Amino acid sequence: MDERLTLGVSSNAPYGFETKPQIEWAGQVYARSSRVLSVNITPMAAYELTEKFSVGVGWQLQYLQVRLKSATGVPPIAANSPTAELRGEDYNLGFGATVGALFKPWEGTQLGIGYRSPIEHNLKGRLVVGGNAPTPIRANIIMPETVTVSFQQELNERWRGMGTFEWTHWSRFGTFPVFNLQDQVVSELPFQYNDGYFISLGTEYDFTENFTGRFGLAYEWSPIDEANRTPRLPDANRFWISAGLSYFYEDWLEVDIGYSHLFPESESININPDHPFYEGITIQGPVNDTNVDIVSLGARLKF
């Protein structure tokens, strides 16, 4: 807007996953399919207080959708067992805030800190068991807050190094009751997660005025361990390798492409009577030979 004030808006999907095991399998009472989708839009403003210090604030508007399916019995005792589906959406959106600061103590060095607030979602939907009539339901879920600390250091005119540490308050993601319209509990979602941590180091290099390349390594401590791991999301600690490329067209357009390969550690699922999701059936087994590939494409316009 002027030399000190900048306005912007971003859109991303901060939370989401989809898993789909076989319909008939030993753990079908715990998961037949699972899907979580989110869309977050954040208008924001940043102000340069001095040449070395800037602050920014934003307002989060977030949509959340949840689809969880499981069987009502296990094979071979209950072959062709009916599916129970729990479906919920936050049509009214959840609201939150972001705030951050950027400090440039001397030429070529930047230090940043950011905070993303928790967001409460009032999900409304239905519970359907087999061919029975759906039961209207509601549930309140709070998505966690995040604190991020980062740095960037110029190594020469073209080469920069950077790093990030991030903490996510997943331990607030405990047990969420699901109510019918009579305020009776018809189900529970006992996630019981731990806090999550992420640390990364990377570098970027300006090949030309129009092309910048990036490479980075990271390690992420998952909020899920053997005490709360389920087939819905058999997550584990993981190592990241990432690379990317940016193309700058004059001063008003930037196009980014990125690729990450994740190496999750081999872990186990062990649902027993001490597990929060235990439904009377014990299942045990390894989760290994897993990997994740992420491809992203983005664009930024300046006007």
Model-wide pTM > 0.85 = yes
Q: Which residues pair with 43 in a beta bridge?
A: 9
On whether the CB atoms of residues 248 and 254 are closer than 8 A, the answer is yes
User: Residue 171: phi, psi to the nearest 5?
Assistant: -70, -15
Distance linking the first and last C-alpha atoms of the chain: 9
What's residue 78's pLDDT? Answer: 55
Distance CA 303, CA 298 (A): 17
DSSP type of residue 76: T
Reading the chain (303 residues) residue by residue, the pLDDT tens digits are: 899 999 999 998 999 989 988 788 888 889 999 999 999 999 999 999 999 999 999 999 999 999 999 988 766 555 678 889 999 999 899 999 999 999 999 999 999 999 999 999 999 999 998 888 999 999 999 999 999 999 999 999 999 999 999 999 999 999 999 999 999 999 889 999 999 999 999 999 999 999 999 999 999 999 999 999 999 999 999 999 999 999 999 889 999 999 999 999 999 999 999 999 998 889 999 988 888 999 999 988 887
The helix/strand/coil state of 1 is coil
On whether the CB atoms of residues 44 and 59 are closer than 8 A, the answer is yes
Going from the C-alpha of 245 to that of each of 13, 67, 212, 248, 302, the distances in angstroms are 21, 35, 6, 10, 19
On whether the CB atoms of residues 213 and 204 are closer than 8 A, the answer is yes
On whether the CB atoms of residues 28 and 68 are closer than 8 A, the answer is no
On whether the CB atoms of residues 251 and 203 are closer than 8 A, the answer is no
Residue among 204, 103, 125, 218 at smallest CA distance from 165: 218
What's residue 250's pLDDT? Answer: 85
